[in-house]
Amino acid sequence: MTRDTFAALLAWTPFLAGGFLWNIVISLATMAIGTPAGYLLARGRLNGSRVAGFLTAAARVPPTFVLIYYLAYLLPPEIVLGPLALPLPGWVKASLALAVAVTGFVSDNALQALRHLKRGERVEALYFVPAWTTYFLIIVMASSTASVIGVPEIVQRANTVIAAIGDSGAILAVYLYVMAFFLVFCWPLARLLGYARVRLGRRAGSEVGVRVSPESPAGTEAVLATSSRGDAGVDPDATPDDSFELPVAPASVAAIQSRVETVCGERLDPAALFRLSLAVEELVTNVVKYGHAGGEPIRVAVRHDDSRVTVDLAYGGPQFDPFRDAPKPDLTADIDERHIGGLGIHLVANMIDEAVYHHSGGTNAIRLVMLRPGAHAGATAS
């Protein structure tokens, strides 16, 4: 960077800062529109509304960049209500386009928070706050797409600065300077959110990973089915929707994941199905890599009732509770300093509504539970 370019950037800083304020305004407006819309959809899904589930799925699909273009030309420059003419500037159209993705995100995360609240897990429900704030930071960065319809945010103003300087060699310097605005705004908040998650994690009383310790040597299936925590209401005599066994081999991971998705697809909303599928993939992968099953197959059974869907995984090998015995990841450490391992199980524990591990007769057994729309612990879906 030459001295002239550096001097020019300092001179144009107030102009660029004014553009960045537009990014913040667009982002706040986006969250203000998408948050209540997503919350209403979450309430509807909690009550078993298929329409709310469909609208949530639809909100996840459209590309924001295309939506901004579409709304820019579809919506008029102003809305006339009798004697009033309400202007509809470009930044409002950009906010509406970005709010579609926010609506889907809030619907998924607020649904989990509402389920936690119904189970009396107030601390776990507070995870919604750092998740919402993290998405706000994503929207701040995505707000630069508003430049394509002429909104005078920082990227659009950066192009003005480049043209005013008149030096093609200054392009990189200008855009790096623009990136610095986003970094200075987002990085401190991201660090604060990491701290908040750690604090919540220490206070959370999650039942995920509860170890079943039966007083009598009952069979694995019976113990899991009658456990008072994590599996209440599962009928041990219920015929599985699907049950099968496959060899403990890499090719089985995708096969098990696919069959679980097929069986559960009509019984869970897309977000819950996605989380369950990821959890199954992670756990089965760990069994294949580290389970030492000794040639025994992995047995899978899928069941459902009015309030929940359960996936049972049973396999041989040494006793190992993935929820308790896996190394705990240090989420506060920098990426370069973190030890390998443990993060996948940590993610599983935060994706699944309830889970139980048990070992009996040389068999490891894991039951994963996802609540169906409208259900909470001890309740029935409407």
Measured between alpha carbons, how far is 226 from 223 in angstroms, rounded to an integer?
A: 5
32 assigned to some structural domain? yes
Q: Are residues 7 and 105 in the same domain?
A: yes
Which is more confident, 272 or 207?
A: 272
126 lies in the same domain as 216:
no
Higher pLDDT, 360 or 136: 136
Does 376 map to a domain?
A: no
CB 352 within 8 A of CB 368: yes
Question: Of the residues 167, 186, 203, which one is the last residue of a structural domain?
Answer: 203
Sorting pLDDT into bands at 50, 70 and 90, what band is 80?
Answer: confident
What is the pLDDT at residue 193? 79
Domain containing residue 41: CATH number = 1.10.3720.10
Please state, in angstroms and rounded to a whole number, the distance separating the CA atoms of residues 378 and 237. 19
Query: Quick check: is 367 in a domain?
Result: yes
Q: Choose one of 138, 170, 203: the last residue of a domain.
A: 203
Average pLDDT along the chain: 78
Burial class (CB in 10 A: 0-12, 13-18, 19+), 239: exposed
Of the two residues 67 and 294, the one the predictor is more confident about is 67
For 219, the 3-state DSSP assignment is coil
- Spatial neighbors of 9 by CB under 8 A, at least 6 apart, are 161, 173, 174, 177
Residue 255 lies in a domain: yes
Structural domain count, the chain: 2
Mark whether 225 and 276 lie in a shared domain: yes
Domain co-membership, 88 together with 168: yes
What whole-number percentage of the chain has pLDDT above 90? Answer: 21
**142/287 same-domain check:** no
Claim to verify: residue 262 and residue 343 sit in the same structural domain: yes
Q: Are residues 109 and 252 in the same domain?
A: no
Q: Whole domain around residue 145: which residue ranges?
A: 3-203
What is the band of 342 on the pLDDT scale with cuts at 50, 70, 90? very low
Q: Looking at 146, 168, 203, which one is the last position of a domain?
A: 203
For residue 3, how far is the Cα from the chain centroid? 45
Selection from 144-148, 222-226, 340-344, 377-381 with the highest mean pLDDT: 144-148
Q: Kindly state whether residues 214 and 173 are assigned to the same domain.
A: no
Do 96 and 182 fall into the same domain? yes
Helix, strand, or coil here: 352? coil
**Does the pTM of the predicted model rise above 0.75?**
no
Residue 94 lies in a domain: yes
pLDDT at 157: 93
Whether 111 is covered by a domain: the verdict is yes
Integer CA distances (angstroms), 311 to 37, 39, 259, 276, in order = 32, 29, 11, 9
What is d(CA 144, CA 162) in angstroms, rounded to the nearest whole number? Answer: 16
Instruction: Give me the CATH number covering residue 321.
Output: 3.30.565.10
Cα angle 141, 144, 149; round to 5: 155
119 vs 290, higher pLDDT: 290
Distances (CA, A) of 197 to 62, 117, 159, 193: 30, 18, 38, 6
- Same domain (yes/no): 309, 355: yes
148 and 23 belong to one structural domain: yes
pLDDT at 328: 56
83-87, 203-207, 211-215: which has the highest mean pLDDT? 83-87
Whether 378 is covered by a domain: the verdict is no
Same domain, 147 and 253: no
With respect to residue 157, please indicate whether it lies within any of the assigned structural domains: yes
